[in-house]
Copies of this chain bind each other. A is one copy, B any other.
Amino acid sequence: MPTLYLTRKEHFNAAHRLWNPNWSDEQNYTTFGKCANPHYHGHNFDLFVCVKGQPDPETGCVMDLKVLKVIIRDEVIDHLDHQNLNLDVPWLAGTMPSIETVAVAIWQRLSPKLPAGVALHKITLWETQNNFVEYYGE
């Protein structure tokens, strides 16, 4: 049986700020530049969730895309869309909400929710049209 990698794209619009509370203001502004602005800025984040599995012989599909969409919305999008990543998301509280941090947190939320026979393979998170991160769970 062949193994296929199935990817679903979702997106969310959110505000965030890069700021380390253990540092002086000066160190924060030197390190993070405009990303440290106190009143936040924001992005249209694009999220690609890639799962790995063998197609079901009865359906020809690795998994039902409608089910995958609902899992991503329930676990991730409804928590992040039109929110402030520093202030509004319990499962990001106390972290630096860089795309690296958010991608790892999304992995941890989605991985246990996938149906039997399907494994989470990669989280890709775009912050702008010019930068993104990928995380494989390791």
Contact = CB atoms under 8 A, between A and B. Distances in A.
A60 B9 contact: no
B39 A131 contact: no
Contacts of A13: 41-43, 128
Interface of A: 2-11, 13-16, 18, 20, 22-23, 31-35, 37, 39-44, 50, 55, 58-62, 64-66, 81-84, 86-88, 95-98, 100-101, 103-104, 128-138
Contacts of A137: 2
A104 to B, nearest CB: 5
A65 B31 CA distance: 11
B55 A7 contact: no
Contact of A60 (B5, B22, B100): B100
Contacts of A136: 3
A37 B116 CA distance: 28
A31 B59 contact: yes
A133 B62 contact: yes
A104 B2 contact: yes
Given A13-B128, A43-B44, A129-B9, A2 B60 contact: no
